[in-house]
Structure 1
Amino acid sequence: MITGNIKASGKLDVTAPYDGQLIATVDKVDKNAIDHALNIASDLYNDRSKWLSADKRIEILTRLSALMEDNAERLILISAQEGGKPLNDTKVEMARAIDGINNCIECIRNNHGEEIPMGLNAASMNRLAFTSHEPIGVVVAVSAFNHPINLIVHQVGPAVASGCPVIIKPADDTPLSCYELVKLFHQAGLPEEWAQVVSPESHDVAEALVTDSRVGFFSFIGSARVGWMLRSKLAPGARCALEHGGVAPVIVAADADLQSALPMLAKGGFYHAGQVCVSVQRVFVEKAIARQVAEKIAELGNKMTVGDPTSADTDIGPIIRHSETNRINEWVEEAINAGAERISGSGKISDSCYSPTVLFNPPENTSVTCKEIFGPVICVYEYEDIDEAIKRANSLDVSFQAAVYTSNLDTAMHAYKQLNASAVMVNDFTAFRVDWMPFAGLRQSGMGVGGIPHTFKDMQIEKMIVIKSGKL
């Protein structure tokens, strides 16, 4: 979706992960097309007469919100088909995405600079200084497959709100939601050249897009391996935000309200087949109740329906690729062979679906303990001393959201202070998020702060004016 007469260099087949059915095809583009898209975007940014005023951006986003409401049912079905997230969960994602656009409008309305104190000494006398904000430049957004509606809103919405031209590369597995959403941006009044979607024909072409000197801001949601590699190749001066995964830890004390906690833990680990960067994965439970917790989570998982994501009865959909289903199975079998106890889970249900699985006390050096599994697998570990559990929770080189379940305020505060995390949920699961809160991976889990207002701020520069006058 590049403006101008651009020829496709190939076709990308988009198939349903559940049954492999061909849904649609989209055009692939080469380096010449990428260069054309960057020229369009950089020319827009460099010609300030073409910048979109704040009132125009509000008008566009307001219309977009209404269009998303009108097209919600269609977008939900497309997203569930191509991404595999069950229909009911995709409905929630759609509602969040619409709310996210309204949040972008609020960001524009509340955007302002500040006065810088002057007249405080001889050097600053007779001066007035204040700041305002301007767009940072061309935004290139590379997105992930697992929330194909909401992630695009989180990247494109703030870019449009901040006044930046944006080029989006959606995940090859789930590009349709992005193409449809950007069409709605255009239908809402955003000139086509302000938001362009590209599906590069190769990794080299995608890298050429990201690392070009015309890029002002790079937004990446995806694997740590790819994100950190691309960051190392950015042009001088380009800023970036990286959002990768974690291996989310949970501490469950013996005094926790299990009636409340257990459904949340099961949902947090099995939601979207565990394909969420802050899914519940490692649950450290006080020994007196550890087996009970593992068995109850397993029981809840066993009641969940695994299957067609477009069915309203489905709780857990497919894994995005067959190779990933095989990898998950290999990691689980590795853990069991190393001594983990399988509390529940029958392994692969099909090439695309994996049964919700609970493992008890996997060894510390197994993949399910050390790496992000990105599958419907919850590991329960027993502990006797909470500080030892926190030490184990903190032992990895990733750090994102964590959680603690307890009825004791001191226990909660101790865990909050000691856990390596950007956010600690008390009596809530690690996957909790609202879209205006800061959302940040630390260490190898990411760089910068997500959340719509924070991304909006990142995509702007603060510009100061200093006025000197003898009348001041």
Structure 2
Amino acid sequence: MQTNTPQSNSGAFPLGNNHRLFIAGEWVDADDHVEIRFPYERKVLVGRVAWANKAHVETALTAAKEGAKEMAAWPLHRRAALLQRIADLIAANKERFAWLIVHEVGKPIKDAYLEIDRAIAAVRLSAEEATRIHGEVIPMDAVPSGEGRIAYTVRRPLGIIAGITGFNFPLLLDCHKIAPALAAGNAIVLKPAPDTPITALELAALCAQAGTPRGALSVLPGGDEIGEALVRDERVAMITFTGSSAVGQHIRAVAGYKRVALELGNNSPLIIEPDANLERAIARVLAGGYYAVGQACIAVQRIYAHRSIYKEFARRLAEQVGKMRTGDPRLSSTDSSTLVSEQATQRVLRVIQDAQEQGAQLLVGGKLQPDGCITPAVLLGVTPNMQVCQQELFGPAVAIAPYDTLDEAIEQANSTPYGLQAGIFTNNLQAAFYAAERLEFGGVHINEVSSYRADHMPYGGVKASGMGREGPRYAIEEMTETKIIIITP
């Protein structure tokens, strides 16, 4: 455990201030306020945040109706230029965002920097995709009645988008909602995660500085009732949600005719074939199982290693995991730190304990440190009935089980309700494609871990992991509708 305390630099985000709601270009106070505290050191106040109520939702949606009209009227080049300015401003405030993300989430600062770089890329990619929104010509004479007719399609914005995001990547997730919505010509009302609202408000300030029209963006920190009001309001044309499968199921049930995109939970599997490059696989598991303290829906959680290499892989992985540095997330040398809350910490400890009580061996880590961090863990000999093999962990641990045949490994990988991303390491191309076709996931990585994501690729899951796809091009498709125009001479 590290004990030295870092000092903030001149570009760091100022802590302890008050933060108001951002509604249609205005900063608005509220009757209720919530304190956001540093997960690693709870006595540190990150800020006091105004907490929205249903009246604020009404104000935001009323303004969003006009904001959507204005954004829809903007030409594509103007939308793209706006998003490039937003990306420039995020880049110019990188140190400020890094310090804020560390204090809101508790993730190591090296992970915060990676998140910011990805957020900038997501906004720039959205700017590029804004200029590529197009339809197609339809060959009407494919049927006899269409002879002499001309038809083409255009993509039109939906109107008002409601975005609801999770805590684990507060800047990146918000950018993946806001940037495609504006690129498509919509207005968006964003409800950020209750644990990390200040990052969203800081992003809103930059969006306003860049010239986002009044009404095109509102950010409403608040409780569940704010999300519920947005989901049920008939003026909202689409809900884009990142969070738990249980909440996603509820949104789908009450959304009515709204379009819904859900990026939900996962329990990511990784298959290690006997011919795999173990050195590379171990290095990628270190990166993909423990980054952001495991608080990522595509973090590696279950590893199925062929029985012939099972013990060697586990031993070598545990050796490397044991070298990870746990402690203060503000230190650049820290690899793993605290989880977002005490409740999250206790939940992860219970899952590790459940596995041990049912016979799994804890090779390394899994211990609660005096500073509240859980040391990165490796569990060996897990079975399908254990919580770690069925639930989403969202913590710094991976679980390893042996298999004898590839079909057995695929069956185990598919055995949970989830299906976001999976991976397989093998040098056998036939085995790789065989697994890729049979793994029931929205994305399958060959010789890579499930946690890899490039922000322009289509990203989303099946089963309890959601519906719809993110990635700027694909999100814009979700946030627009096809209109056909037919000309009869």
Structure 1 segment 125-204 matched on structure 2, within 5 A: 125-200=147-222, 202-204=223-225
Q: Deviations over 1:253-300 (max 9, x none)?
A: 111111111111122111111111011111001112111111211111
Aligned to 2:235: 214
Partner of 1:228 in structure 2?
Answer: 249
Give 3-state SS (helix, strand or coil) of 2:423's partner.
Answer: strand
Q: 2:107 touches 2:339 (CA, 8 Å); kept in 1?
A: no
| 1:189-212 CA distance string (max 9 Å, x none) | 112321100012x32232012210
* Deviation for aligned residue 1:49: 9.0
Query: Judging changes above 3 Å, is the alpha-carbon distance between structure 1 residues 351 and 224 closer, same or farther for their aligned structure 2 residues?
Result: farther
Which residue of the other structure, out of 338, 341, 356, is the alignment partner of 1:318?
A: 338
- 1:252·1:405 contact (CA, 8 Å) conserved in 2? yes
Aligned pair in 2 of structure 1 residues 422, 5: CA closer, same or farther (>3 Å)?
closer
Aligned to 2:18: none
Deviation at 1:50, TM superposition (A): 7.2
> Are residue 33 (structure 1) and residue 56 (structure 2) matched?
yes
- How far is 1:78 from its partner? 0.8
Instruction: Give me the whole-angstrom Cα distance separating, in 2, the residues matched to 1:121 and 1:363.
Output: 57
1:274 equivalenced with 2:274 (yes/no):
no
* 1:126-157 alpha-carbon deviations (Å, 9 max, x no partner): 32110111111100000011111111110000
Please name the residue that 1:55 is paired with.
77
Inter-partner Cα distance in structure 2 for 1:49 and 1:446: 28
Which has the larger displacement, 204-213 or 253-262? 204-213
Matched, 1:106 2:131: no
Q: Distance in 2 between matches of 1:322 and 1:402?
A: 29
> Which residue of structure 2 aligns with residue 16 of structure 1?
38
Does structure 1 residue 83 correspond to structure 2 residue 110? no
Q: Which amino acid aligns with 1:88?
A: K
Name the structure 1 match of 2:10. none
8 Å CA contact 1:336–1:342 kept in 2: the answer is yes
SS of match in other structure, 1:61: helix
- 1:357 maps to what in 2? 377
Q: Secondary structure at the match of 1:225?
A: helix
Percent of aligned pairs with the same residue? Answer: 33
| Post-superposition offset of 1:364 | 1.9
Counterparts of 2:143 and 2:321, CA distance in 1: 67
Instruction: Tell me the residue number matched to 2:7.
Output: none
Partner in structure 1 of residue 8 of structure 2: none
Q: Match of 1:366?
A: 386
> Structure 1 unaligned runs (5+)?
none
Correspondences of 1:280-295 after superposition (within 5 Å): 280-295=300-315
SS in 2 for 1:403: strand
**Local SS of the residue matching 2:170:** coil
Following the alignment from structure 2 to structure 1, what is the Cα–Cα distance between the partners of residues 188 and 94? Answer: 23
- Please state whether the residue corresponding to 2:331 is helix, strand or coil: coil
Aligned-partner Cα distance in 2 for 1:459–1:199: 23
Letter in 2 for 1:210: V
Distance in 1 separating the partners of 2:219 and 2:31? 15
Equivalents in 2 of 1:214, 1:252: separation in Å? 49
Contact kept? 2:71, 2:187, Cα under 8 Å: no
SS in 2 for 1:368: helix
Per the alignment, residue 445 of structure 1 pairs with 465
Question: What do the CA deviations read for 1:335-384 (whole angstroms, capped 9, x no partner)?
Answer: 10111111111421146411111111123211011111111111010112
Residues paired across the two proteins, number: 466
> Which residue does the alignment assign to 1:258?
278
CA distance in 2, matches of 1:385, 1:5: 60
SS in 1 for 2:254: coil
Q: Single out whichever of 69-78 and 214-223 deviates more from structure 2.
A: 69-78
Aligned to 2:15: none
- Mapped partners of 1:229, 1:398: distance in 2: 16
8 Å CA contact 2:423, 2:445 repeated in 1: yes
Are the structure 2 counterparts of residues 168 and 49 from structure 1 closer, same or farther at C-alpha, using a change threshold of 3 Å?
Answer: closer
Amino acid in structure 2 at the alignment position of 1:387? D
Cα separation, partners in 2 of 1:332 and 1:414, compared to 1, 3 Å:
same
Residue identity in the other structure for 1:74:
R
Instruction: Please give the residue correspondences for 1:275-424 in structure 2 after superposition, counting only pairs within 5 Å.
Output: 275-350=295-370, 352-424=372-444
Give the Cα–Cα distance (whole angstroms) in 1 for the partners of residues 216 and 168 of structure 2.
Answer: 25
Instruction: Give the Å deviation of 1:44.
Output: 3.2
What is the rounded CA distance, in whole Å, between the counterparts of 1:402 and 1:262 in structure 2?
A: 16
Offset of residue 58 of structure 1 = 1.7
* Aligned Cα root-mean-square deviation (Å): 1.6
TM-score by length of structure 1 reads: 0.96
Contact 1:44 1:51 in 2 (8 A): no
TM-score normalised by L of structure 2: 0.92
Amino acid in the other structure paired with 1:338 = Q
Q: Is the 8 A contact 2:72 2:185 kept in 1?
A: no
Deviation of 1:111 (Å): 1.4
Moved more, 75-84 or 116-125: 116-125
State the secondary structure of the residue aligned to 1:152: helix
Distance of aligned partners of 1:48 and 1:262 in 2 relative to their CA distance in 1, 3 Å threshold? closer
